[in-house]
Amino acid sequence: MGLFNKILHAGEGRRLKAVQSIVPEVNALEPDVERLSDDQLVAKTSEFKARVDRARSSAKNPQQEKDLVGDALDEMLPEAFAVVREAGRRVLGQRHFDVQVMGGTALHLGWVAEMKTGEGKTLVSTLPAYLNALAGRGVHLVTVNDYLAKRDAEWMGRLHRFLGLSIGVVVPDDSTADEKRVQYDCDITYGTNNEFGFDYLRDNMVVEIAEQVQRGHRNQSWSPHFFAVVDEVDSILIDEARTPLIISGRAADAAELYYQFARVVRGLQRDRDYEVDEAKRTVVPTEEGVERVEQALGVENLYENVHQNYVHQLQQALRGKELFKRDVDYIIQDGEVKIVDEFTGRILEGRRWSEGLHQAVEAKENVKIKEENQTLATVTLQNYFRMYEKLGGMTGTASTEAGEFAHTYDLQVVSIPTNRPMVRMDNSDFIYKTEDAKYAAAVDDIEERYEQGQPVLVGTISVEKSEKLSRELQKKGIPHEVLNAKQHEREAEIVTQAGKLGSVTVATNMAGRGVDILLGGNPEGLARRECLKEGLVVGTPEFGARYEELLPGFQEICQAEGEKVRELGGLYVLGTERHESRRIDNQLRGRSGRQGDAGESRFYLSLEDELMRLFATGLMSRVMNASFPDDVPLESKMVSRAVERAQGTVEDRNFEIRKNVLKYDEVMNEQRKIIYRRRQQILDGEDLGEEAIKAIESAMARLVGEYCLGEYFEDWDVPGLLDAARLYYPTRITKDQIDEIIGREALEDLFVEDAKALYDDKAESVGVENLRDIERRVMLSVIDQHWREHLYEMDYLQEGINLRAMGQQDPLSEWQREGFDMFEAMMGQIEDDFVRYVFHLQVVVDDEPRPDIRNISYSAPSDPVQGSNAIEAAMSAQAEEMPLSFDDDQPVPIPAAVQQQPVRADKTPGRNEPCFCGSGKKYKLCHGR
Ligand code: ADP
Ligand code: MG
């Protein structure tokens, strides 16, 4: 059994030993690798690639190929790591520490490496990135913001480029698809979680394979999602995962088309132009009717443009005209069409008819058709990242969430020891009676440290709290910086200096994350800042020269200041409130005491804090009763433990909520996968010939089933059948022919044979190749139309389900059942439309107008934690309904207030998007009213 098999079978708790066992192997190779010249070192890359290719060439099928390539990579790990380490030493002046080799191994194995802040995770990721890039399928390195993506690509790019790999970056900007594709074609691509997700969605909205940007599409057996390393993995997969990425927009002129059809059908006559069957709730246009419509629209052929789908428009307009009666089926109220419940007579608020029917009725009544932005594509980060064949993650804080990583992502957490022993002093909490007393004491503490010169990093849980504290500091005349995770680059520059002598920095938890805090300050940053101050322009020779000139001076200053800061006790982290999750508190603490530095931390709490008010009341408030002085803190291990227990309770609850949200998302996820797979096959040029025949057969079966209710002729609606058949294909069957038929099955056969024969004729007249092309285009177009419509309806369904959750129904099973039914219905509609259009389209017109989608916008999770205080929302909104522990067999409602709301890039949200206020309601039902 090879080394890797042994590792993979290492039992729980043995993972650390497993990754440790790699280190001696890598170290043993070091002397040999050190002796190589630069050229020889670089040549290793092609040698490794050749080995992968050899492994690949003996594969007989895609699965085997994956396995063999995977084995080859495992086998090469020690050598490849030794090469990367040597390159790090030569190019960056940083030789990977043994613990970094361990971390790199964990990532390669698809685990989460927990490594403390400052341990050099950026460098760690170069090991598995290089190794896996050798497979030639593209490795994605995922960061939380674009500043970090660019920084890491540039910084680590030097190492990778030296070894002959190409490096790309994808961040939100205005690059074209061609430019994006170049980035994805690189061996390693750095980017933000959102950008990777949006590119995936966009790739599934294109109509030509050539427009797709993520690679792998070109080879059907390879998914574009091979291996990703996610930095700050807990932020991305836990904090942000609940919020979907959404691309929304609206079709221009869609409303106009409904009005046009409403006008056209107004001029049509019942029984001459169309037949109505009230019992079956169908309206079918006659041949004469269709001709009249073509004339009115000024088109040759109602079927000439599959994208506009006039046939569907006509049908809905006719149904709206004949089957839906004002003041019976609906009423007009405040200029809106509102559905009346047929059983209770009550108005069904917030409900709409589907498939464009509602708009058709609005057009008929000449009221305003709502042109709302609707969801065009959506995926949660959770589901996006679960698509990767292999996923590794790194963060300073994972072990508190190990259960969730395992449950949701099948990711195992391994805690890697620090390179040097950690000496930071973590003091127990100070608890005050009132918030004011707490802030007063915290400010005193800051002042004292500031006067000594010890740098202080103050953590707050929200922007408002930061501002409040900042005002207090101002009153005392203490100079400080305030950050709130809005301008990543500027804040990174500030945070990197937070270890300077006498600096005070107030930040929400996430501000400046990923940026290293060196005691005494960061000389590169200072030199750069000085050059800018002197008016020099980045990238010019003057800038470079001046920078080099200044750097040694700053290095000396920082070195000296660093010594002083160390003597003063290192960076002091002061938390002004416990966050609802211990992990976030640990992140804050972790900013201090990096790489064996001196450091200290303390949290200041008050009984008025949210967390304390809700959970830690009893004993503590008894102790801290009226006679207890305001300005004296309670400090005891017991209390700190109580606080942590309270956090544990909230963490569990949030995990339950996320699990529950995931169950809801599962429905959409399965559907999306089916639709996207189908699209991709079509883009890949799949032959739909057989599918067309099957679709014809089942369409004919549905048709006959609908119009011929019994075995016998008397039960058949022959004229209706013929009219309806004509909507599918130009049937040649006559009434006389049908009169001679005995039995429904024979009738079905008659239609199937007739349709198939016509289809063969068509293949002959337009050419088989052309017909295949028509099929693909039609299929793609109808899938897109119906999928968009489906997303729209699922949005409505979700709204309705949330209301039902208040009744006694189990919302999850309702959602699953109705979601499934709607999907099935959609698939039937797709088939129907497909048959209609492949029969009627004569040629493929390349520049057929497609609906013009306007007002495209993107929404994504906001920075987690800061800004949205989930606990507050959860408690105030759901305190009564939400039990503290969940029963397994009790449905857990999705507390809307707890789901994080996307923050939109532009000012006004779309009507169906969540309101900016974070209420969890749709914009149109909240501030958009
Ligand atoms: P993390 O992401 O784990 O918090 P970073 O990747 O930001 O840490 O690195 C922290 C600092 O440690 C950086 O300044 C980096 O240059 C330095 N560093 C990392 N690895 C090494 C190494 N092997 N040798 C020297 N310095 C290192
Ligand atoms: Mg980092």
Instruction: Check residue 874 and give its pLDDT.
Output: 36
Decide if pLDDT at 274 tops 80.
yes
Q: What is the distance between the alpha carbons of residues 15 and 414, in angstroms, rounded to a whole number?
A: 6
Q: Comparing 30-34, 73-77, 801-805, 831-835, which segment has the lowest mean pLDDT? A: 801-805
Q: List, for residues 22-45, the tens digit of each pLDDT value.
A: 999 999 999 999 999 999 999 999
Nearest atom within ligand 1 for CA of residue 116: 3
For residue 590 and ligand 1, the question of a CB distance below 6 A is answered with no
CA of 221 to the centre of ligand 2 (A): 34
For residue 523 and ligand 1, the question of a CB distance below 6 A is answered with no
- Residue 924 DSSP symbol: G
β-strand partners of 505: 457, 481
CA of 152 to the centre of ligand 2 (A): 9
CA of 827 to the centre of ligand 2 (A): 46
Q: What is the distance between the alpha carbons of residues 143 and 393, in angstroms, rounded to a whole number?
A: 11
Burial call 295-324: b when 16+ CB within 10 Å, e when fewer: eebeeeebbbbbbbbbbbbbbbbbbbbbbb
Instruction: Check residue 846 and give its pLDDT.
Output: 55
Assess contact for 819 and 668: CB atoms under 8 A: yes
Instruction: For CA atoms 628, 633, 635, 638, give the dihedral sign.
Output: positive
Residue among 102, 122, 555 to mutate when testing ligand 1 (max atoms within 8 A of CB): 122
Burial call 170-185: b when 16+ CB within 10 Å, e when fewer: bbeeeeeeeebbebbe
How many percent of the chain have pLDDT more than 70? 87
For residue 120 and ligand 1, the question of a CB distance below 6 A is answered with yes
For 844, the token pair is 């493929």
DSSP three-state, residue 485: coil
β-strand partners of 597: none
Q: What is the distance between the alpha carbons of residues 247 and 237, in angstroms, rounded to a whole number?
A: 20
Query: Which residues are CB-contacts of 368 (< 8 A; sequence separation ≥ 6)?
Result: 335, 362
Decide if pLDDT at 877 tops 50.
no
Q: What is the distance between the alpha carbons of residues 68 and 62, in angstroms, rounded to a whole number?
A: 10
Nearest atom within ligand 1 for CA of residue 231: 2
The packing angle between helices 126-133 and 146-162, to 10°, is 60
What average pLDDT does the segment 348-356 reach? 75
Decide if pLDDT at 715 tops 90.
no
Q: What is the distance between the alpha carbons of residues 470 and 443, in angstroms, rounded to a whole number?
A: 10
| CA–CA distances in Å: residue 918 to residues 867, 897, 914, 915 | 10, 7, 7, 6
Q: List, for residues 156-186, the tens digit of each pLDDT value.
A: 999 999 999 999 999 988 889 999 999 999 9
For residue 115 and ligand 1, the question of a CB distance below 6 A is answered with yes
For residue 96 and ligand 1, the question of a CB distance below 6 A is answered with yes
β-strand partners of 458: 506, 574
Q: List, for residues 427-446, the tens digit of each pLDDT value.
A: 989 999 899 999 999 999 99
Instruction: Check residue 518 and give its pLDDT.
Output: 93
Judged by its nearest atom, the ligand closest to the C-alpha of residue 95 is 1
CA of 356 to the centre of ligand 2 (A): 49
Q: List, for residues 573-616, the tens digit of each pLDDT value.
A: 999 999 888 888 988 999 999 889 999 999 999 988 888 877 65
| CA–CA distances in Å: residue 447 to residues 279, 475, 866 | 82, 11, 25
Residue type for position 72? A
Identify the CA nearest to 230 among candidates 76, 120, 388.
388
Q: List, for residues 375-400, the tens digit of each pLDDT value.
A: 889 998 889 999 999 999 999 989 88
Judged by its nearest atom, the ligand closest to the C-alpha of residue 495 is 1
β-strand partners of 604: 430
Instruction: Check residue 880 and give its pLDDT.
Output: 31
Nearest atom within ligand 1 for CA of residue 88: 23
Q: How confident is the model at residue 894 (pLDDT cuts 50, 70, 90)?
A: very low
Judged by its nearest atom, the ligand closest to the C-alpha of residue 513 is 2
For residue 119 and ligand 1, the question of a CB distance below 6 A is answered with yes
Q: What is the distance between the alpha carbons of residues 686 and 162, in angstroms, rounded to a whole number?
A: 41
Q: List, for residues 75-100, the tens digit of each pLDDT value.
A: 999 999 999 999 999 999 999 999 99
Query: If you count DSSP H runs as helices and E runs as strands, how many of each does the chain have, helices first?
Result: 34, 22
Whose C-alpha lies nearest to ligand 1, atom 23?
96
Whose C-alpha lies nearest to ligand 1, atom 13?
120
For 925, the token pair is 């039902």
Instruction: Check residue 741 and give its pLDDT.
Output: 85
For residue 122 and ligand 1, the question of a CB distance below 6 A is answered with yes
CA of 331 to the centre of ligand 1 (A): 67
What order of strands is seen across the sheet that includes strand 902-904? Answer: 374-380, 244-251, 853-861, 902-904
| Longest Cα separation, the chain | 105
What average pLDDT does the segment 880-903 reach? 34
Judged by its nearest atom, the ligand closest to the C-alpha of residue 590 is 1
Q: What is the distance between the alpha carbons of residues 528 and 543, in angstroms, rounded to a whole number?
A: 9
Residue among 119, 154, 419 to mutate when testing ligand 1 (max atoms within 8 A of CB): 119
What average pLDDT does the segment 120-142 reach? 97
Q: What is the CA radius of gyration of the chain?
A: 33
For 419, the token pair is 């390179």
Query: Which residues are CB-contacts of 745 (< 8 A; sequence separation ≥ 6)?
Result: none
CA of 429 to the centre of ligand 2 (A): 27
Whose C-alpha lies nearest to ligand 1, atom 22?
94
Residue type for position 544? G
What average pLDDT does the segment 357-383 reach? 87
Q: What is the distance between the alpha carbons of residues 152 and 155, in angstroms, rounded to a whole number?
A: 5
Decide if pLDDT at 900 tops 80.
no
Query: Which residues are CB-contacts of 815 (< 8 A; sequence separation ≥ 6)?
Result: 664, 667, 797, 798, 801
211 CB burial (10 A radius; 0-12, 13-18, 19+): middle
What average pLDDT does the segment 787-797 reach? 84
Phi, psi of 718 (to 5 degrees): -65, -45
Nearest atom within ligand 1 for CA of residue 92: 16
Decide if pLDDT at 57 tops 80.
yes
Query: Which residues are CB-contacts of 15 (< 8 A; sequence separation ≥ 6)?
Result: 106, 111, 412, 414
From the centroid of its chain, how far is CA 619? 43
Q: What is the distance between the alpha carbons of residues 723 and 799, in angstroms, rounded to a whole number?
A: 38
Instruction: Check residue 5 and give its pLDDT.
Output: 60
Q: What is the distance between the alpha carbons of residues 103 and 393, in angstroms, rounded to a whole number?
A: 10
Q: What is the distance between the alpha carbons of residues 442 and 62, in angstroms, rounded to a whole number?
A: 61
Phi, psi of 603 (to 5 degrees): -105, 140
pTM listed for this prediction? 0.84
CA of 516 to the centre of ligand 2 (A): 8
What average pLDDT does the segment 284-313 reach? 85
Residue among 235, 516, 595 to mutate when testing ligand 1 (max atoms within 8 A of CB): 516
Indicate the average pLDDT of the chain: 85
Residue among 85, 101, 123, 415 to mutate when testing ligand 1 (max atoms within 8 A of CB): 123
Q: What is the distance between the alpha carbons of residues 611 and 643, in angstroms, rounded to a whole number?
A: 8
Q: Whose structure tokens read 């044979």?
A: 753
Instruction: For CA atoms 543, 549, 555, 557, give the dihedral sign.
Output: negative
From the centroid of its chain, how far is CA 412? 22
Q: Quickly count: other Cβ atoms within 10 Å of residue 616's Cβ.
A: 22
> What is the length of the chain?
929
Q: What is the distance between the alpha carbons of residues 45 and 42, in angstroms, rounded to a whole number?
A: 6
Three-state SS string across 229-253, please? EEECHHHHHHHCCCCEEEEEEEECC
User: What is the DSSP annotation of 185-200?
Assistant: TSSEEEEEHHHHHHHH
Q: What is the distance between the alpha carbons of residues 176 and 181, in angstroms, rounded to a whole number?
A: 9
| CA–CA distances in Å: residue 209 to residues 78, 844, 929 | 38, 17, 41
Higher pLDDT, 879 or 853: 853
Whose C-alpha lies nearest to ligand 1, atom 2?
121
Judged by its nearest atom, the ligand closest to the C-alpha of residue 125 is 1
Give the number of C-alpha atoms closer than 13 A to the C-alpha of residue 735, restricted to the C-beta side.
Answer: 6
Whose C-alpha lies nearest to ligand 1, atom 20?
120
Judged by its nearest atom, the ligand closest to the C-alpha of residue 113 is 1
User: What is the DSSP annotation of 647-693?
Assistant: HHHHHHHHHHHHHHHHHHHHHHHHHHHHHHHHHHHHHTT---HHHHH
